[in-house]
């Protein structure tokens, strides 16, 4: 797969239209904690709101709080949400997608357990617009490839109607 071409394609246009997705879902942070290992202050998804298992797409959201301590140093006179944390948001949404795809259903089981994974690579990224404090962002993630031990997703952070960042991330499944 030509990752550079995938990144170039999704620099401007959204990966998916929320209204066209097969399934509207509504999961909050408590539910998300059942399926990914991240916890505060590093749980970077507030809600899961859309899912299409056929296309391998998930949509989540996060409100970027003005009180986030990261803005004290990045950058005090012009606060911008760090690109590395945008990559992490996309990765966390990708883990949620892999959970639903492994179950082939849009439900989080009562006894769900997080998928054990480790990030292995960022295969490419563009940071196109600043993500500012006080904004709600959408996280749109699509599965590109999945093998026995590796999974690759392309994802976007969207604020308003603008793609702020797009990246391709790879993880290794530990089980």
Sequence ranges of the domains in the chain: 3-173
Which one is catalytic: 38, 47, 74, 107? 74
Alpha-carbon distance of 44 to 132, in angstroms, equals 15
The H-or-E segment that residue 19 falls in is none
pTM value?
A: 0.96
Q: What is the pLDDT along the chain (175 residues), one digit of tens a residue?
A: 999 999 999 998 889 877 788 789 999 999 999 999 999 999 999 999 999 999 999 999 999 999 999 999 999 899 999 999 999 999 999 999 999 999 999 999 999 999 889 999 999 999 999 999 999 999 999 999 999 899 999 999 999 999 999 999 999 999 8
Q: Is 74 a catalytic residue?
A: yes
Where would I find the beta strands (DSSP E) of 3-135? Answer: 23-27, 47-52, 57-63, 117-127
Q: Which fold has domain 3-173?
A: Thiol Ester Dehydrase; Chain A (3.10.129)
Tokens of 61: 């959201």
How high is the pLDDT of residue 135?
97
């Amino acid at each position: 797969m030509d990752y550079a071409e995938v990144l170039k394609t999704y620099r401007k246009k959204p990966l998916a239209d929320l209204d066209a997705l097969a399934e509207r879902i509504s999961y909050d942070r408590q539910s998300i904690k059942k399926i990914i290992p991240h916890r505060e202050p590093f749980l970077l998804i507030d809600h899961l709101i859309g899912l299409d298992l056929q296309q391998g797409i998930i949509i989540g959201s996060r409100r970027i709080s003005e009180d986030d301590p990261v803005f004290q140093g990045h950058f005090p006179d012009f606060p911008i949400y760090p690109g590395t944390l945008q990559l992490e948001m996309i990765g966390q949404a990708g883990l949620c997608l892999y959970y639903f795809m492994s179950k082939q259903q849009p439900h989080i089981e009562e006894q769900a357990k997080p998928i054990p994974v480790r990030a292995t690579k960022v295969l490419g990224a563009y940071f196109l617009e600043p993500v500012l404090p006080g904004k709600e962002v959408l996280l749109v993630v699509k599965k590109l490839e999945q093998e026995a031990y590796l999974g690759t997703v392309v994802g976007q952070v969207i604020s308003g109607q603008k793609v702020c960042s797009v990246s391709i991330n790879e993880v290794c499944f530990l089980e």
